[in-house]
Copies of this chain bind each other. A is one copy, B any other.
Amino acid sequence: MMEQVPGALGTSASLALRLGQTIFCSASLLFMCLDVEFYSYTSFSYLVTVMGLVTPWSMSLALIDAYSVFINCLPRQPRVLLIVVVGDWTLSFLSLAAACSSASVASLLVNAGNSYCPTKLCSRYQLSAAMAFLSWFLSFASTLFNLWLLPSL
């Protein structure tokens, strides 16, 4: 039995983190996608692209964690962990960039007034950016936990 780091791949803390990521990513994607005008702004299209990448990634890792927690514990392989760390790292940078750029564009649109975005649409943009920030935070947390474990393998 190896030392258990809370939050590393295959533990229940990691499952909780991944579920949180999946929820926040999908929420961000839905808030942005369900109105039709997002593709007229570069940052919003970028946010949709990145969230479209992060959602399946988090979802598949959540499935792996769920399998490992509830059915049987998977053996820990350095190569798999390395791929997970590198993927998480890249995606967390991308989602930070997407969250920042869409938040700044949303705040600019809010300040520009009602002619650019009706209040309902603007608050959806803001909510979507906030969800993207939360998803970045969780994804960064799981990167750090996995990175912590990496040298011990």
Contacts and interface: CB of A to CB of B under 8 A. Distances in A.
Contacts of A103: 101
B43 A104 contact: yes
A108 interface: yes
Given A93-B96, A96-B93, A101-B101, A108 B43 contact: yes
A96 to B, nearest CB: 6
A43 B103 CA distance: 9
A42 B96 contact: no
A114 interface: no
Contacts of A104: 42-43, 100-102, 104-105
Query: Interface of chain A, helix or strand or loop or mixed?
Result: helix
Given A96-B100, A105-B105, A105-B108, 6 more contacts: A41-B108, A42-B104, A43-B104, A100-B104, A101-B104, A102-B104
Interface of A: 41-43, 93, 96-98, 100-105, 107-108, 111, 151
27 contacts: A41-B108, A42-B104, A42-B107, A42-B108, A42-B111, A43-B104, A43-B108, A93-B96, A96-B96, A96-B97, A96-B100, A97-B97, A97-B100, A98-B100, A100-B100, A100-B101, A100-B104, A101-B101, A101-B103, A101-B104, A102-B104, A104-B104, A104-B105, A105-B105, A105-B108, A108-B108, A151-B151
